[in-house]
Structure 1
Amino acid sequence: MAVARLPLSIDHIPEEKRSIYDAEPVLSGRGMRIQWGHVVGLDGVDIDLYKGEVLAVIGDNGAGKSTLIKCLTGAYEPTGGTVYLDGQEVHFKRPQDAREAGIETVYQQLAVIPALDIASNLYLAREERRAGPLGSVFRMLDKRGMARRAGESVQNLGIQTIQNMGQAVENLSGGQRQAVAVARAAAFGSKVVVLDEPTAALGVKESGMVLDMIKQLRESGLGIILISHNMPHVWEAADRIHIQRLGGCAGVITPQSHDMGEGVAIMTGAKKLVQDQLDGAA
């Protein structure tokens, strides 16, 4: 059975972006709960993500941000609740299941191999073999084809600082390494890309490059979940903002409906959304 949408008000969403909310959510969680003994990591969290949307997830340390994402993407198996993809119930037992369904996650600790070149990192665990007996019998990799397609993936994200796909990742800057990880997610994430603190260790210029990539991913029609502690970046990039607090959802706002100060106040518990704001998801 298809999932019912969460209540949604688009009054504060710019008019040119409202059409993305006409379709059903691409990824949803209902009643998400996980518990380890007496420790409750998530306590009945609901969430909706739409195609072509950047949904930021913010919260203090221990609020359940990463736990929620891991439950949605197969890294954790929740003790309660249901995950829906394109309106249909799904059960991810492992991250590989989510990847095969079109959901890619880029964690804060980048899963790149410094000694390998850029193309090899983009196709890590997805290596393509050459056609004919060279691939089927001798198991030779199609390195030229992978390098060409890796270059196309990087160009599609508007990354101008990476040109040589044969360059070792260890020779790249922090922002360029992040770009490689995001490009890999974009190349294989056909529905959803999750970014966990993508600008945490980057300077101003490199952070700007990553934010530009996020906008490119949104324009391509992917659903983007952005986990971040950097409030200016969240208010710049996000269409909606899901606020986690003490394992639950404190509310969903937009950059147009609430400023950064109000968002932080809700996140810390200094301010609470009234019930109609909670129901309408701002």
Structure 2
Amino acid sequence: GGGKKKPNSQAPKEPQGPLLEEHGDFRTRQLVQLGGLQSAAAQELNGRLARLRRYDPAGERWEVDVRNGLGIKRLKEENLTAPPKPQVPSGLQVAELKERGNKAFLEQAYEEAIAYYAAALELLEDDETTPPEAEDPKYTAVLYSNRAQVYITLCREVHGEEKQVSKEARMYAMRANMDSAKAIDLDPTFGKAYYRRGCAVLGMAPSASRAKEAIHCLEIALSGRASGGKDGIVLPNAMRHEVSNLMDYAKRRLDACVEAAVPDVEQCRENCRQQ
């Protein structure tokens, strides 16, 4: 709709009045695919995936956070559709599926990455085909850990700047937790998997026990060395700074949950207990 001169990707003016979290078939943090944008400036957005933020009833537009660093745009509902279900071509080998999953992750096609990793894991765990990679539990551990990272990324994307952990963000954190735990079971020396488990646990609703669990995982990761540290834990040197930063955050999270002298004890108790 609207005249041809006005690009669809921008509202005529900034939102006036309150913004909504739900409108029509859409709700905040929902994943959508963009399409039908005509203006030269907006055409590069066609086919892109984005998360909805808030709906402006006055401008009749959603604020959308477009993946691949394309920023916040303001679009009409006619330009938003449900994203297609990822399709995995048949006949691919485990290594090809893993490679395509890694490529999709780098391109921020997270749902596609999950589909490729799942297909690779299905082949690895199929007793009838038994590909050669299935002989090496560390190979399977990497796939679980990679998929855990996709879930962690989705958890952060869904959570955005919200104060509360939403049901969907919590679901992704729980899946990441299960995948990273599986990776650790398969390869107990896998430092990156301990780090990712720490990330996953911190992605759930805050509690003292979760903060302690995250600290425990991160301590194991930090005990690692590039060539294998105490207990053979391997952690690439490039990751050490990132893991240390998360450890600092986990300790602050624990302090917030157990400290007696917080400004609003009731609020802290509420934040730290909800499951």
TM, length-normalised to structure 1:
0.28
More helix by share: 2
Q: Which has the higher contact order (CA 8 A, sep 6+)?
A: 1
Query: Which has the larger Rg?
Result: 2
